[in-house]
Chains A and B, each alone.
Chain A
Amino acid sequence: MASLEIRALTKKFGDVTVLDHIGLVIQDGEFLVLVGPSGCGKSTLLNIIAGLESETCGEILIDGRAVNDVHPKDRDIAMVFQSYALYPNMTVRKNITFGLKVRNTPGPKIEEMLAAVSDLLKIGSLLDRKPAQLSGGQRQRVAMGRALVRDPSIFLFDEPLSNLDAKLRVEMRTEIKKLHHRLGTTIVYVTHDQTEAMNLATRIAVLHQGRIQQLGAPQHLYDHPDNLFVAGFIGSPAMNLLPGSLSSSDGGLYFRPGDGEDLIRVDHYPFREAPADGAPVVFGIRPECVTLPREVEGQARFEVELVAEAVETNGFDKHVAFAYGASELIGRLPAKAGLVAGQPMRVGFDLSGISIFDRRSERRL
């Protein structure tokens, strides 16, 4: 177990800056998920932590010790790869024990560690098979076993679930989570799937264009996205983002979407700084806050008549696309809500959890 600190880490490929002054402190036992769209530099960051790629500048500290010039094998880090990267010519047993043998671990100790790991991951019956004879989920387990057996102080996961089918992915996700609970090892986990990030992380770092857009607990990122990118990236279906402006009248502060006539009262919104009247903003509201009027509790509410353009049922609720001025608004309505596509209906906005962003800086107001 160990803490990990990254200081002002920059990586350039020629003129292209892939990582731009990344700073991160990961506490001992934390499960940090690096999430971002493809090409945001998250895998590069992971490879640099592992020592498989070199940084352009910056520092990496494990337990306060700079490891920039330490060979990957001496960093006490284990990594699970997207393609599992099992050695195709070796049996599961040899795959798992290869790292120990290379490090001249004594034989009885190897057997002991192998037994512990195969017990933990329930792969005891697979030990004499070759990787080609395993299913995707089994390979995933073996890859994790190979990382676990060395008992490293930090685990790195590079999109480990993206090659599995949907059902297996959910299963393995739970298992990784359980494993983290049991072992308490520091984990850095890379994924492009925000659901995976939300489910697994104790903290999430959203990476975009080589910068950390926001770092925080999953719920915090969901409720208080720091900027438009995070707002749009975290959550599925994505947060509704309506461009418009702020205006004060009758002693209240209102949001006026686009060039519409509606005025949505936003007095209660905890602005970080007092907004200017008429300021161009983006109004963000989660789909679950766009629902039937009777579902909305509390004072901060708004009602409007909208036309449902498309309805998607998924059993426990319905995702409904409404046309709202020039924008589209996704709402989540109870499964029982009787509604017909193309018909106007009353829709209620729960305004207690809205986000408001400056349209120019794209930052949260």
Chain B
Amino acid sequence: MEPDFSRPDSAFAVSRWFQANLPRIVVAPSFVAVMVFVYGFIVWTAYISMTRSKLLPRYDFEGFFQYGRLWSMDRWQVALENLFVFSGLFIFFCMALGLLLAILLDQRIRVEGALRTIYLYPMALSFVVTGTAWKWILNPGLGIEKVVQDLGFTDFQFNWLVDPDLAIYTIVIAGVWQSSGFVMAMFLAGLRSIDQEILKAAYMDGASLPKIYLRIIIPSMRPVFLSAFVVLAHLAIKSFDLVIVLTRGGPGYATDMPATFMYAMAFQRGRIGLAAASATIMLMTVMAIMVPYLYSELRRKRDE
């Protein structure tokens, strides 16, 4: 823009200052909000976890007392174990299924657009809806078990939802159903971004189709795998609504996750300090997985 020399210098200076700093001014409120409500409260939570807070927060520093109690609780052990079982299976099956669907859809088939929408559709639903639907489907008295028994197979049993050892897998099923279509869309976009001439070249080099996928296409989709992993990992770790709707953490606390554990401690049992300790552990778990992964990926990108 042309500077306006007819105005007095001070006004000009102010407008120049605004022009130079406008981006910062616009971003400032959200920056402040994020600093306070995300990072500020992370620090607050971490501090609370070091106190004897019960129903209300108390601010006398007590050290790692709450952590000791937390790790001695069987319910917390179950919740952590569930988290690893669930996130491991959830991420693996979502990726495997998503990649398989994407590869199949990438074969230039008919009605691809319609199929893509069908697979992607569950993502449009809230986990609450998914959970409710699967609760009915998996309910022995209402869903699959009853239907098959009504068909005459009276010995048929499918009661994972009420089996303390197997209930966690029903959450995996519902989660995979919901999210694998989205992963498929990501992989499909990745597959589509690969130059068709590379396929032709590999074809002429004599590679079979499975070999082309295994040796060339899938390895060159590394960034898509990272994105899918990040999305799925955060879905897995924050999985709260699905568990609450599908099993309420039950039977007993068999399907408790750290998130539901924390909620129960903070808002039902009045043990804020313990809840804060579990929240801190969750944060550290996430960081332990994500930070090295992101670091190695970002460094690799810089090297290339």
Contacts and interface: CB of A to CB of B under 8 A. Distances in A.
A38 B198 CA distance: 22
Interface string A71-115: 011000111011111111110000000110011000000000000
A98 B204 CA distance: 11
A330 to B, nearest CB: 38
A133 B205 CA distance: 23
B220 A81 contact: no
B216 interface: yes
A77 B206 CA distance: 11
A89 B220 contact: yes
B182 to A, nearest CB: 24
Contacts of B211: 102
B202 interface: yes
B2 interface: no
B154 to A, nearest CB: 54
A52 interface: yes
24 contacts: A50-B204, A52-B200, A72-B204, A73-B203, A73-B205, A78-B204, A81-B200, A83-B197, A85-B200, A86-B201, A87-B198, A87-B215, A87-B220, A88-B220, A89-B216, A89-B220, A90-B216, A98-B205, A98-B215, A99-B205, A99-B207, A130-B304, A132-B304, A133-B304
A197 to B, nearest CB: 22
B197 A98 contact: no
B219 A89 contact: yes
Interface string A225-257: 000000000000000000000000000000000
Contact of B197 (A72, A81, A150): A81
A102 B197 contact: no
Contacts of A132: 304
Interface residues of B, number: 18
A87 B202 contact: yes
A150 B215 CA distance: 19
Given A88-B220, A102-B206, A102-B207, A79 B201 contact: yes
A356 to B, nearest CB: 43
Interface of A: 47, 50-52, 72-73, 77-79, 81-90, 98-99, 102-103, 130, 132-133, 146, 150
B150 interface: no
Contacts of B203: 52, 72-73
Interface in B173-214: 195, 197-198, 200-207, 211
Given A85-B198, A89-B219, A99 B304 contact: no
Contacts of B195: 83, 85
Contacts of A47: 200
Given A82-B197, A87-B220, 17 more contacts: A50-B204, A52-B203, A72-B203, A73-B205, A78-B204, A79-B200, A86-B201, A87-B202, A89-B216, A89-B222, A98-B205, A98-B215, A99-B204, A99-B205, A102-B206, A102-B207, A132-B304
Nearest to A156: B204
Max chain A Cβ within 10 angstroms of own Cβ: one of B205, B216, B219: B205
A18 to B, nearest CB: 18
